[in-house]
Structure 1
């Protein structure tokens, strides 16, 4: 009859095996005073949804998200901060606004992938 193999686990903690780190020094740095933004600030950037509403207001027909992104960039209202698919992000944001705000939304889905302003 064969003998049964048994293994024993060695319990070593990794903490004891590695060097102990010294506690992080806590230093308090004073943050510079935040600039107060006023309503008249010219440096405030427009959001993608606000820019899309402005582009749709200037347009006479319904537009898809890709066309809105192109027109927003051409007119200087909004530019993508480096994303690969800003049109997909804009589309999702418009759909989300329509779903959450309902009839009070700025946008209305006119056709498949096409949006207009809510009147």
Structure 2
């Protein structure tokens, strides 16, 4: 006899050890099986709108977790179960993203106070250099030429590396070229 973990969701089953216990498998994985158990049928009495007593049989349900290795006997399969219970399994239509037109970026004006930014100073050093340089060498050269000094940051080379990579993302407008791992040229 199969265990709950091997049944499809929606399978009506009967417990192997206690055939009077029936239910429906909602979902199962390697850790637990979620089942909807049928409660015993009982007669319910209520009063209708005209004041007349009405009796009808009723069966309640109870949702609980069982071990996925619980041995059961499959009885039937509820085909309508998939539509009601597993709405998440339906395939959703994917929305296509609309792409925004790239606006042409304007060249930034030079700062009025005469100080260069780290990125501007790196571009100037690389333009004067004959060979590609690492960001650490760029920071040292910028400090030696007094173009730019770190305002107290602990890793200015890493910050410059990140800024250069962002500028490389601009494509043809970029002032830098990556020649090798960690090496940049103008």
TM bracket, shorter-chain basis: 0.5 to 0.7
- Bigger helix share: 1
Between stretches 87-96 and 41-50, larger displacement belongs to 41-50
Report 1:1-119 matches (<5 A): 43-99=113-169, 101-117=170-186
- Tell me the SS of whatever aligns to 2:132: coil
Structure having greater relative contact order (Cα 8 Å, sep ≥ 6): 1
Could you list the per-position Cα deviations for residues 24-49 of structure 1 after superposition, in whole angstroms to 9, with x for gaps in the alignment? Answer: xxxxxxxxxxxxxxx89873310001
- Bigger strand share: 2
Runs of 5+ unmatched residues, structure 1: 1-38
Identify if the C-alpha distance between structure 1 residues 42 and 116 changes in structure 2 by more than 3 Å, giving closer, same or farther.
same
Q: How many residues align?
A: 78
Q: CA RMSD in A?
A: 1.8
Runs of 5+ unmatched residues, structure 2: 1-108
Specify the structure having the higher radius of gyration (Cα).
2
- Tell me the SS of whatever aligns to 2:130: coil
- Tell me the SS of whatever aligns to 2:179: strand
Task: Give the Cα separation in 2 of the matches to 1:84 and 1:62.
Answer: 24
Task: Give the Cα separation in 1 of the matches to 2:111 and 2:151.
Answer: 21
Task: Give the Cα separation in 2 of the matches to 1:104 and 1:88.
Answer: 22
